[in-house]
Amino acid sequence: MSFPLFHRPGTLMLLDDDPDYLEALAMVLPLDWHVRMFVRPTRYVYQMHCEHPLWERDRWQQETMLTLWRQGKPLIPQILQYWSSTPERYALTHVCVVDFAMPGMDGLQALSELVDWPGARILLTGQADEKVAVGAFNRNLIDQYIPKQAADVAQQLVQAITKLYGRAHQHYDAIWRATLRPEQSTLLAVPEVQAGLKTFATEHWVDYVVIGQPFGILGLEANGRASWLQLETPESLAGIAELAELNGMNRHDLKDIRTGRRLTSLELHQSLGMQGCGAPVPAFSPAGTGALLLAALHELPVSALMAPLVGHHEWLSRQAPRGISD
């Protein structure tokens, strides 16, 4: 599936024994990326090993949310609590970029030390090392290699990292797929639906999670503002209107819901402990999804949150300036 069910920003690790080259790379990387740089392979490997229990703890938190959900605890407030209590999730390394030719330990040796690390690997190569890089790529030891002598190496690197940042995370996708009903999984497998939702998510959020009960996407903007993208099929409109009528919604609003002009999310309000079903908001079809899918974006009021949410920009502002870590 090209549209990940779970996404968040992460840290980028750079390893090269040439500090001047590292500094030059850091100058061209986007400012909203958290970057750590190393010149010593042993120090780099040690830092990555230190992350292993942090990854394990983070996955355990995801799995615990689903365990509690199966016991009857709504998912949306659990995810919001996770976002508010774990800003350090952004510190986990998602992509590492390693130079191949280094004294003492080459790049492939350094990468081979990262046993069970779930991130993506990019190898920087000199002209004489490209055959080695091709072999490593064909053996799935790396996700991509980039020749250092290329005139547009910085542009290639940014494009490669951006693509890998947006790649589905196998473990997390498997965790959250368990919340989906079979018909929801089938709908999300449609290429047009994947493309439309991926475009919407990229334009609106830096963190998001797709869940099946209720069906939709809970997203967090870089500034810490949360919203809920309600997802419905045309066949579900009658049931939504029926629930809204039982909760006292007026005839005019009910007509809009039945015709797909607006949507209300009773399940969202119930999970957050809010009264009523909320005022209907405009419905739309995400780009390319046509008649397959209807969506409505609900901004979550601060009053509905149990604690303030720390967005990526706030977390990033607290980090040390870019520089060599060792």
Digit-coded pLDDT (tens) for 89-141: 999 999 999 999 888 889 999 998 888 888 999 999 887 677 888 888 888 88
Same-domain status, 111 and 226: no
Q: Domain for residue 326, yes or no? A: no
Q: At a CB cut-off of 8 Å and minimum separation 6, what does 227 contact?
A: 204, 205, 218, 219, 221, 297, 298, 299, 300
Q: How confident is the model at residue 216 (pLDDT cuts 50, 70, 90)?
A: very high
Number of domains, the chain: 2
What is the C-alpha to C-alpha distance for residues 83 and 224, in angstroms, rounded to an integer? 9
For residues 90 and 235, membership in a common domain is answered with: no
First to last CA, the chain: 39
- Answer whether 315's CB lies under 8 Å from 87's CB: yes
Does residue 321 lie in a domain region? Answer: no
Give the confidence band of 326 by pLDDT, cuts at 50, 70, 90: low
CA dist., res. 64 & res. 32, Å (int): 30
Q: At residue 1, does pLDDT exceed 60?
A: no
Question: Between 250 and 276, whose confidence is greater?
Answer: 250
* pTM exceeds 0.85, yes or no: yes
Cβ atoms of residues 29 and 35 within 8 Å: yes
Q: Which of 114, 140, 119, 155 is nearest to 9 (CA)?
A: 119
Contacts of 151 (CB under 8 A, 6+ apart): none
Percent of the chain beyond pLDDT 90? 70
Q: How far is CA 171 from the centre of its chain?
A: 12
Considering the domain architecture, whether residues 124 and 248 belong to the same structural domain is answered as: no
pLDDT at residue number 139:
86
Mean pLDDT across the stretch 9-29?
A: 93
Contact status, residue 251 vs residue 280, Cβ threshold 8 Å:
no
Residue 105 structural domain:
6-171
Asked if pLDDT for residue 48 goes beyond 60, the answer is yes
Cα dist from 137 to 94, 98, 120, 122, whole Å: 18, 14, 12, 10
318 domain-assigned: no
Q: Verify that 87 and 216 share a domain, yes or no.
A: no
- 181 in the same domain as 167: no
Beta bridge partners of 284: 295
Mark whether 66 and 85 lie in a shared domain.
yes
Question: Does residue 186 share a domain with residue 158?
Answer: no
Closest CA to 32 of 51, 9, 13: 9
Q: Are residues 42 and 130 in the same domain?
A: yes
Q: With bands split at pLDDT 50, 70 and 90, how would you rate the model's confidence at 325?
A: confident
> Is residue 290 domain-shared with residue 255, that is, in the same domain?
yes
Verify that 61 and 29 share a domain, yes or no: yes
CA angle at 222 for the pair 218 and 226, rounded to the nearest 5°: 30
Distance CA 147, CA 316 (A): 30
Task: Classify residue 316: in a domain, yes or no.
Answer: no
The reply to whether 185 and 263 lie within a common domain is yes
Give the single-character DSSP code of 273. Answer: T
Q: Do 81 and 191 share a structural domain?
A: no
